Structure 1
Amino acid sequence: MLQDTTVARSARVHDWLLGGVENYAPDRAAGAALVEVVPGVRQLARSGRAFLRHAVGLLAGSGVAQFLDLGCGLPVLDGNVHEVAQAARPGTRVVYVDVDPVVLAHAFTTLDDNADTLIVGGDIRRPGAIREAIGGFFDWGRPVAVLMASVLDCLPADGADDPDGPEGVVRDWAALLPPGSPVVIQQMVCADAGVRAAVTAVMTGATGGRWGRMAAPGDLGRYAAPLHIKAPGLGDVTRRHPDSPAAPGPLCPSGTAAWGVVS
């Protein structure tokens, strides 16, 4: 499959932030520009990934046997969702969803030998179509854990009434899921409007307008409003888990952190 390597893609930028090698010069340039704005952004990306692994392990260990990873991004070297979930609970089924053909190509190459994983091409703003594509791979009478890690910031955010914005997407998925389905949300946030504007400008410019915007902490609270939040609630994930690397304070503008929540 031919890749467009002339324009950055958010999945490849994230791969670079995590120390991966599936990225090209425009992706690295976008990542370097992010580092100029938020010098600790690579640590924040790793913190977010550690939080996701921790949440998946806990949910699988507590009995959840179906995981839906929305906007899954490129596979990482270790600690992918299916690896963590199936180690904690053998036989757990995992569906990876992404709209990026580059991500899908890598996923098919990496995961096609695992009978308990499924790869679906789809737009997370269309939950009904994704559920139809998954079909009988999941038992829709049992809980499905939905993962939204570093993906809601890729969506437009024109207000609470925008069905294609982050708030509308979370609301639509919450309404579609079987009872008892947990939802995990994680993304980088910042209380400083100037930093948010700078990060948004870097990413929208680098991706040719295919990116949304950086959220404020209050935005993430609104996104999670339709969910039944479990303790300890919404907050900085680097303060919760010893395996989540914290970015040194001086490297991050005030109010910048990797936030997460589990419902």
Structure 2
Amino acid sequence: MRVKDRRLARDQKLPRAGPQAFENHYWQLFGARWPELRRALLLPARQVALRDGLLQPYYLDEASVAAADALPLTAGDRIVDFCAAPGGKSLALARRLPPGATLICNERSSARRARLHRVLDSHLAPQLRRRVSVSGHDATRWGLIQPSSCQRILLDVPCSSERHVITDATHLGRWSASRPRRLSIQAFALLASAIDALEGGGSLLYVTCALTPAENDQVIARALRKRAGQVEYQTPELPWGESTEYGIHVLPDAAEGRGPLYVCLLHKILP
């Protein structure tokens, strides 16, 4: 049997979906690191209580708080959290709103938007809550409908969420390599829209909780190609993170249970 035929036969035997396909995929990405990373993903996440400026504590991954704090805010900013539910990062932004700044928390899903309302209403004092609004737009069209309309954007895109998948038998059973590919396409559509919605001189924080480069650096690389001359990237300062080509990746095996979290800061170039 020729080498090509043997390789084809081997590939045909590999499962294309389910737990073993998941294991194979991440072994290929992380190699000898994968067993320890996998073990860390199965342990409880390292959470902290977000308290400052809130009516009651809200618990979320400590890396998520650091990520939200990496978006620079200035007085009078119109700030948009593009994919806001369940609302933890929105609270992190709201607690540090500068004078005159407003925050729009966008969530297209009606069910998730209802939860977002509950989180904001139960954690923000009325005076602060009045500066935080909720919308239900399709964020992939925001840049087309409202171009150059905001100064700051937090874009926490829907992603593979491997930490959730690996602990849920149903999701793990349905997993296939098409999932990160599909989500990377959606992530780029959201990022392109966010870049178009950003004013010249504005800043955008791109965030995922994904392990795969396809949803992280590769999305940023594509945006830099497609929007060449419009944006430039900056690697944010984030504790516990590992530098990648364009951003910072916090991985739980090396960050005492924090993450996974990928962050890249983009700035819109003034025309």
Scaled to the shorter chain, the TM-score interval is 0.5 to 0.7
Structure 2: distance between partners of 1:78 and 1:250: 23
Looking at structure 1, the residues matched to 183 and 215 of structure 2 have their Cα atoms a distance apart, in angstroms, of 13
Q: 1:66 maps to which residue?
A: 78
Q: Amino acid of the residue matched to residue 238 of structure 1? A: W
Kept after mapping to 2: 8 A contact 1:69/1:146: yes
Selected match of 2:107 from 91, 98, 113: 98
Determine whether 1:118 maps to 2:133: yes
Alpha-carbon separation, structure 2, partners of 1:248 and 1:188: 14
CA distance in 2, matches of 1:73, 1:66: 19
Contact 2:103/2:131, CA 8 A, preserved across alignment: yes
Q: How many residues align?
A: 183
Instruction: Kindly report which structure 2 residues correspond to 1:17-56, keeping only aligned pairs within 5 A, or say none.
Output: 38-39=41-42, 42-43=45-46, 46-56=61-71
Q: Is 1:145 paired with 2:152?
A: yes
Q: Does 1:260 align with 2:259?
A: no
> For residues 89 and 232 of structure 2, what CA distance do their matches in structure 1 show?
33
**Cα distance in 1 between the residues matched to 2:159 and 2:260:** 15
2:106–2:135 contact (8 Å) kept in structure 1: yes
Q: Partners in 1 of 2:182 and 2:89 — Cα distance? A: 35
Distance 2:221 2:90 in 1: 32
Percent pairwise identity: 10
How much does 1:147 deviate? 0.6
Structure 1 counterpart of 2:207: 186
Task: Quote the residue 1:228 is aligned against.
Answer: 232
The answer on whether the counterparts of 2:205 and 2:263 sit within 8 Å (CA) in structure 1 is yes
Corresponding residue number in structure 1 for 2:22: none
- TM-aligned CA deviation for residue 238 of structure 1: 2.5
Could you say which structure has the higher strand fraction?
2
Residues 210-229 of structure 1: pairs in structure 2 closer than 5 A: 215=214, 217-222=216-221, 224-225=223-224, 226=227, 227-229=231-233
Q: Which structure 1 segments of 5+ residues have no match?
A: 1-34, 133-138, 191-195, 197-213
Q: Would the alpha carbon gap of residues 123 and 37 (structure 1) be closer, same or farther in structure 2, given more than 3 Å must change? A: farther
Contact between 2:144 and 2:197, CA under 8 Å: does it hold in 1? no
User: Which residue identity lines up with residue 262 of structure 2 in the other structure?
Assistant: W
Contact in 2 for aligned 1:145/1:183 (Cα 8 Å): yes
Q: Deviation per CA, 1:38-63, whole angstroms, max 9, x where unpaired?
A: 2257249714412233124xx12x44
| Structure 1 position 125, deviation (Å) | 1.6
Q: Secondary structure of 1:145's partner?
A: strand
Greater gyration radius: 2
Residues 238 and 258 in structure 1, CA contact (< 8 A), matched pair in contact too: no
Asked if the contact 1:67/1:95 (under 8 Å) is kept, the reply is yes
